[in-house]
Amino acid sequence: SQQGEEDPQALSIQEGENATMNCSYKTSINNLQWYRQNSGRGLVHLILIRSNEREKHSGRLRVTLDTSKKSSSLLITASRAADTASYFCAPDTGRRALTFGSGTRLQVQP
Amino acid sequence: DVKVTQSSRYLVKRTGEKVFLECVQDMDHENMFWYRQDPGLGLRLIYFSYDVKMKEKGDIPEGYSVSREKKERFSLILESASTNQTSMYLCAREGSWPKNIQYFGAGTRLSVL
């Protein structure tokens, strides 16, 4: 499968803590994207990191990419209850369509 | 603000019914997608369309068909609904730049009884 595999499947933390989610993939990529899904809603694009980038920041989000290990991580710093959602990675392998895994369910306890 | 609108948030249908799920985008983008999402299985691509009247099967097209008569509208059709098609259905369109960012609708939760 060309989809990303997120790890862990579920994560529960306290408000103010950092949350780290990981993504592994199998083939070479053009870029890798992270999406967020609130319960019962559609996915929302968070951040894109290109294959020649190693790290990217957006607000409280930090994404790293290691193409030699075919892995990426998403770090959410100083988490808030509103960050409770599922997070998905989507490696872009050049196919017409992205593929998505099962995601990491993040629960931030107030 | 990007808009992808799915006509229904919740839908209940009977086994054997023909079901239409409608998706409308606010722009003039070629690529549109239909996914279904089930617990533990993630999002699975059913069909996508790269222009009017152009379509391509995704990973799980069986039991589904699609229609794209106008660029802004992409419909998913369940010819004869079955209980195993009970799921969350998500429509998406591609962005402008970077081109492959996807913008999703709010989803349609379909129950087939």
Q: Are strands B108-112 and B10-13 parallel, antiparallel or unpaired?
A: parallel
pLDDT tens, residue by residue, B49-85:
999 989 999 999 999 999 999 999 999 999 999 999 9
Contact predicate B33/B45, CB 8 Å: yes
Q: Quick: pLDDT tens for A69-110.
A: 999 999 999 999 999 999 999 999 888 788 888 899 999 999
Token representation of residue A99: 């593929």
What residue of B is the nearest CA neighbor of A94?
B100
Measured distance CA(A95)–CA(A30) in Å, rounded: 10
Residues of A with a Cβ under 8 Å from any B Cβ are: 3, 31, 33, 35, 40-45, 48, 88, 90, 92, 96-103
Identity of the amino acid at B41: L
Is residue B34 within 8 Å of residue B48, measured between CB atoms? yes
Verify cis geometry, omega within 30 degrees of 0, for the bond prior to A110: no
Task: Give A24 to chain B, closest Cα distance, Å.
Answer: 15
